[in-house]
Amino acid sequence: MLQVNRDDERPIWQQLLDQAIHNITTGKWPPGELLLPSRELALLIGVSRSTIQIVYEELFSRGYTVTSRRGGTRVSEWTYSARPAEEAAPPGPHPPDLPLLDAAVGHLHSWFGDKGKQCIDIDFSPHEPYLDEPFQKNWRHSFIQASAATDLDSWSYGNPYGFLPLREQIQRYLSLERGVHVSVDQILLTSGAQHSLDLIAQALLQEGDTVSVEDPGFPAAWMAMKYRRMHVAAVPVDGYGLCVDRIPPQSKLVYVTPSHQCAVGVVMAEPRKQQLLHRAAGQRFWIIEDDYDSEFRYRGDPLPTLFSQRPQNTLYMMSFSKMIAPGIRISTIVGPQDAVRQLARVQELTYRHLPIMEQVTLAHFIEHGHFMRHMRRVRNVYRRRHEAMTKAIVATGLSERFTLSGVETGLHMLLEANEAINEEAVTNLALEQGIRVYPLSKYCLESDRKGWVLGFAKVDETAIEEGIYRLAGMLG
């Protein structure tokens, strides 16, 4: 008999339904058993007939019962088995072993600094930008204003290329600030550099293709390509940037960070750029130009892009992670129309489109001048911190014992050591003393270069000076 518990917070019909399902699935009510008419059962339990009718309708809709005009309501003819105890339940499917994924995620964690429970006083992170209250206030303002202005059509399935008003704002910014003149259908929005690289691998390459990456370089680039089963070739980097003559002739794509080399920090020399562009034209391979740090240059104006010189072969990547905040998760791929169209088709199939509110908020943020004001403000902050970092490295004598590079542009610089240094021991010692530094080896694919990539975006001038002096003491 079904029973009602008046102290139970669940609705009465839900209580009775759960009991009925339990009786059926455990065999207490066997297949074919005739259930009492709803009016009779309601009287026995002391509830309204409509409550029992709801229970019977739910049992029928879920397939537990069958009904007929003359035969009444009966338990379905189905094979039941008593539910085993939890400890005896057979295991479900096991996820397959994915060694490539395990290795890549492990490397990414160590590259980011394995941020565990250590007490860190000073973190020279090269990964995160400076954020302040004015940014948060202006972003909140843009979010509220954009939300109020968004019509219902914006909440339907969106354009796989991205929100058109945002692409128009990016188009204008690229034209005015980077000398990149394109139409809006040459701009595709993604949710970050790794998303961009994954799309490119799916849309423009085939499994087993050779792709060339800088070594040292951006680990996520070669990890994304390896996971898509590309053959990744490590190309050395020297004081002039990527060693173009070491690119394998079978390469279908070359990933490069010419404005501020990821890790070493050098600016790619103009002869190397021309050599790369010439080879790309002759061998017909793609260049991915990741322009992630170009907006922060301390000597002169931002450098011309490879895309502006060879748009037929170049996919230009720009991310708002460093310019504003990684949490926004909006990046851009700019390229030839046919290539971007192919990327958009893959995007439509696998991701559909980006979340709308981040896009409309960023469009408002740029359109109403908040973005450019933010950039002017953080450039001044970075200039002061860059100067503090450089002065401290020189004052402590570190620049005499190690090779300092990457000081012209960007949010990090490299303190490179000779092969005799125990990079891991110094990194761990610094961590024990409350300073997190980022070893160059984590940026290396095959290279055995050593040193530390030191970011200064999130460290104020006082902490920079203290951290560098403490680091110099350990290395002394």
Q: What is the pLDDT of residues 404-446, one digit of tens each?
A: 998 888 899 999 999 889 999 999 999 998 999 999 999 999 9
Whether the Cβ atoms of residue 344 and residue 161 lie closer than 8 Å to each other: yes
User: Domain spans of the chain?
Assistant: 12-75, 113-131+373-475, 157-367
Look up residue 342 and give its amino acid: Q
pLDDT band at 79 (very low <50, low <70, confident <90, very high): low
pLDDT band at 81 (very low <50, low <70, confident <90, very high): low
For 376, the token pair is 């002017």
What is the residue whose two structure tokens read 């750029």? 273
Question: Rounded mean pLDDT of the chain?
Answer: 90
User: Looking at residue 107, what is its pLDDT?
Assistant: 75
Q: Report the b/e string of 1-23 with b at 16+ CB within 10 A.
A: ebeeeeeeeeebbebbbebbbeb
Q: Considering the chain, what percentage of its residues have pLDDT values greater than 70? A: 96
Give tens-digit pLDDT for 135-166.
Answer: 999 999 999 999 888 877 778 888 999 999 99
User: Looking at residue 104, what is its pLDDT?
Assistant: 79
User: Looking at residue 253, what is its pLDDT?
Assistant: 97
Looking at the DSSP bridge assignments, the partners of residue 65 are: 75
> Could you say which architecture CATH assigns to the domain 12-75?
Orthogonal Bundle (1.10)
Min mean pLDDT across 292-301, 319-328, 348-357 is at: 292-301
Min mean pLDDT across 105-109, 251-255, 383-387 is at: 105-109
Neighbours of 123 (CB within 10 A): 19
For 352, the token pair is 């559909």
**Whole-prediction pTM value?**
0.84
Task: Judge whether residue 85 has pLDDT over 80.
Answer: no
Task: Judge whether residue 234 has pLDDT over 80.
Answer: yes
How far is the C-alpha of 211 from the C-alpha of 232, rounded, in Å? 5
pLDDT band at 116 (very low <50, low <70, confident <90, very high): low
Task: Judge whether residue 72 has pLDDT over 90.
Answer: no
User: Looking at residue 84, what is its pLDDT?
Assistant: 55
State the fold for domain 157-367.
Answer: Aspartate Aminotransferase; domain 2 (3.40.640)
pLDDT band at 103 (very low <50, low <70, confident <90, very high): confident
Task: Judge whether residue 115 has pLDDT over 80.
Answer: no
Whether the Cβ atoms of residue 237 and residue 445 lie closer than 8 Å to each other: no
For 357, the token pair is 């509110």
DSSP states of 228-270 as a string? TTPEEEEEEEETTEE-GGGS-TTEEEEEE--SS-TTT-PPPPH
The percent of the chain in helix, strand and coil, each rounded to the nearest 5, is: 45, 15, 40
Task: Judge whether residue 83 has pLDDT over 60.
Answer: no
User: Looking at residue 86, what is its pLDDT?
Assistant: 52
Q: What are phi and psi of 203, to 5 degrees?
A: -90, -30
pLDDT band at 88 (very low <50, low <70, confident <90, very high): low
Give tens-digit pLDDT for 344-360.
Answer: 999 999 988 898 999 99
pLDDT band at 69 (very low <50, low <70, confident <90, very high): confident
User: Looking at residue 307, what is its pLDDT?
Assistant: 93
Closest CA to 406 of 370, 464, 359, 455: 455
Task: Judge whether residue 94 has pLDDT over 90.
Answer: no
Neighbours of 189 (CB within 10 A): 26
Whether the Cβ atoms of residue 292 and residue 412 lie closer than 8 Å to each other: no
What is the residue whose two structure tokens read 């089963």? 229
Closest CA to 308 of 335, 338, 282: 335
Average pLDDT for 126-143: 92
Average pLDDT for 218-224: 91
DSSP states of 178-232 as a string? I-----GGGEEEESSHHHHHHHHHHHH--TT-EEEEEES--HHHHHHHHHTTPEE
Per the rule left: phi > 0, alpha: psi between -120 and 50, beta: everything else, 236 is: beta
Q: How big is the chain by its Cα radius of gyration, in Å?
A: 30
User: Looking at residue 117, what is its pLDDT?
Assistant: 58
State the fold for domain 113-131+373-475.
Answer: Aspartate Aminotransferase, domain 1 (3.90.1150)
- Name the DSSP letter for residue 37: P
Min mean pLDDT across 35-44, 65-74, 157-166 is at: 65-74
